[in-house]
Structure 1
Amino acid sequence: MVVSMTGFGRASGQVESCFMTVEMKSVNHRFLEISLKMPKQFLSIEDKIKKLISKFVSRGRIEVYVNLDGESLVEKSIHIDWDLLSHYVDTLHEINERFSLKDEVTLDQILSLREGIDILEESTSSDIVEKELLHIIESAVQQLSEMRKAEGEQLSVDLQARLADMRNIGEELELVAPTVVEQYREKLTKRVFEFVTGMIDENRILTEVALFADKADISEELTRLHSHIHQFEKTLQTSEPIGRKLDFLVQELNREANTIGSKANDGRIAKNVVELKSIIEKLKEQVQNIE
């Protein structure tokens, strides 16, 4: 099945005295990249969160936001380095005496020494809180995953329609290609007859037509084109991540279209090649967003 790499998920719940909200969005990316923005007391379970998300998504950039409303799950305390502060105050007094200053040592000066006073934070979150957070994250990523699948279904319909158009163009090229050589033979015979008096060298004409037919033959390219279209359609039905394989097939389709275009000696073939390359370009854009 086709799964898009674009999606959004949101879930929330009560965790002790806090209301927790988890939001995540995903965009296309070559690999799986998970970015977490959450309170630092949950950093210890960062790996668990990433493993949980990776069970539902295989590719894409996932941005996860965890917000808390209510009482903090962190206890704060103040730690004072009394020795350092005492040394700092003594030094200030010494400076005043040495330079005959009359400034008093103020509380603001003492508090300005950041190394002397630290605010410590200690997480109060329990295993129950962490378990509930993982549960909320799972709900959000499930919603994200469902949205990616729903968008993938729409992508699949669009891709199949474009593949059908490509197949029709390929079938039209198969009908046109044999007539190109015959038209070339007729034009060559007419030109020779107009410029050469007397007998026409039929063998020379046949040789020239044979060389042209060999250069203008697109049967192999059309066979490969239909094969790639079939592989593309078959891949759309598989359950594993298919984005990279589809990207490869798009490159192969484009290669065949370019080769057919380089051999085009007929206005009808050239017109079909332009339409073919336009469809392939649209396929490429869509495939970039498939997991």
Structure 2
Amino acid sequence: MALQSMTGFARREGTSGRWRWAWELRSVNGKGLDVRLRLPPGLERMENDVRRIAGEHFSRGNMQVSLSVSAGENRFEMVLNQEALAAVLALRDQLGGIIDPVPLQLDTLLSIKGIIEFRETEDSEEAIAARDAEITAGLSAALSDLRSMREVEGKALSRILLDHVSTIEGLTLAIERDPSRSPREIAARLSAQVAMLMDGAGKFDEDRLYAEAALLATKADLREEVDRLNAHVAAARELLAKGGPVGRKLDFLAQEFNRESNTICSKSNASAVTAAGIELKVVIDQFREQVQNLE
């Protein structure tokens, strides 16, 4: 399954009978799947279906989904208001003994407000059902387009993340192989420092010095941190190869990477290891920042 970014855009439009419709989808980063809808009046009934279909395509991302629908042509029909006509005829009969009765002409009736009403012709239930079905199919197509765009960006993110993982692996190896971590090197540094302090005041017990150096080396041992970093590197590569919605798992690994780098910096007894640990923290921050974009 391909990796997906959480950012993307898609648009699908079409016609159904006299209706034009268009879907616009925008997606950005989000902790979960949050779908915000803008549906035209009268089509609010589609909300549940839209959320269900979006959930079938995605698991994370803040999505704005908007639908516009317009009539390609307006059709009107004339409707005779029977009650208004009856009232006019009754009034004529009442006034028949007062004014000269004149037969009502059609144009006269049309000029009386309320006798004839114009209203938009309603589509049949079959036509409305067909339109809604095509609009729903358009939504599925738009979501597929959005998924394709997110997968393209996810592929690019995968390459970036793998580069960061390789850098983390290289820095971990450099820390592991740094000669400053051996008891002999620690003893040499301590011997030089002690010699400077004593300034020829007397000879220091070399056996005692080596024992103290071994104790310091044990306290500052980075074996566990290095092993855990290597395990996290392998897990990160496995998740990136697996694909799918692995953003949260990679975010957790980024936290674990950071934890080990902090421990290395705090336990380090050599400038080279400290420098590598600091560079490790920088790369891990970059890794985690990119991970925030993944589904």
Q: Does 1:5 align with 2:9?
A: no
Q: Displacement, 1:203?
A: 3.7
Q: Displacement, 1:204?
A: 2.4
43-52 vs 155-164, which deviates more?
43-52
Instruction: Give the % identical residues.
Output: 33
Corresponding residue of 1:67: 68
Quick one: distance in 2 between partners of 1:9 and 1:271? 45
Amino acid at match of 1:243: G
Give CA deviations for 1:66-113 in whole Å, capped at 9, x if unaligned. 11233599x9xxxxxxxxxxxxxxxxxxxxxxxxxxxxxxxxxxxxxx
Answer whether contact 1:177 1:218 (CA < 8 A) is retained.
Answer: no
Give the secondary structure class of the aligned counterpart of 1:126.
Answer: helix
Amino acid at match of 2:234: H
2:254 aligned residue (240, 250, 255): 250
| Residues paired across the two proteins, number | 246
Quick one: distance in 1 between partners of 2:148 and 2:237? 23
Q: Displacement, 1:25?
A: 0.7
Corresponding residue of 2:138: 136
Q: Displacement, 1:189?
A: 2.2
Answer whether contact 1:177 1:269 (CA < 8 A) is retained.
Answer: no
Give CA deviations for 1:213-264 in whole Å, capped at 9, x if unaligned. 0222111100000100110000112243101101100000000000001012
Give CA deviations for 1:10-32 in whole Å, capped at 9, x if unaligned. 10000221211111010010001
Give CA deviations for 1:118-166 in whole Å, capped at 9, x if unaligned. xxx9997721111011011111111000000000000001100111111
Q: 1:215 to 1:123 in 2, by over 3 A?
A: farther
Quick one: distance in 2 between partners of 1:285 and 1:198? 55
Answer whether contact 2:181 2:221 (CA < 8 A) is retained.
Answer: no
Corresponding residue of 1:43: 44
Q: CA RMSD in A?
A: 2.4
Amino acid at match of 1:59: R
Answer whether contact 1:21 1:66 (CA < 8 A) is retained.
Answer: yes
Give CA deviations for 1:177-236 in whole Å, capped at 9, x if unaligned. 554543321122234444464443234213311221022211110000010011000011
1:162 aligned residue (158, 161, 164): 164
Q: Within 5 Å, which residues of 2 pair with 1:78-227?
A: 126-176=128-178, 179=181, 181-193=183-195, 194-195=198-199, 197-227=201-231
Q: 1:48 to 1:279 in 2, by over 3 A?
A: same
- TM-score with structure 1 length normalisation? 0.78
Corresponding residue of 1:98: none
Q: 1:279 to 1:235 in 2, by over 3 A?
A: same
Q: Displacement, 1:45?
A: 1.9
Quick one: distance in 1 between partners of 2:262 and 2:243? 31
Quick one: distance in 1 between partners of 2:20 and 2:192? 87
Structure 1, unmatched stretches of 5+, are: 76-120
Corresponding residue of 1:89: none
- TM-score with structure 2 length normalisation? 0.77
Answer whether contact 1:26 1:61 (CA < 8 A) is retained.
Answer: yes
Q: Does 1:276 align with 2:280?
A: yes
Quick one: distance in 2 between partners of 1:68 and 1:255? 53
41-50 vs 226-235, which deviates more?
41-50
Answer whether contact 1:180 1:266 (CA < 8 A) is retained.
Answer: no
Q: 1:207 to 1:122 in 2, by over 3 A?
A: farther
Give the secondary structure class of the aligned counterpart of 2:237.
Answer: helix
Amino acid at match of 2:168: M
Quick one: distance in 1 between partners of 2:134 and 2:233? 47
Task: Find the structure with the greater CA-based Rg.
Answer: 2
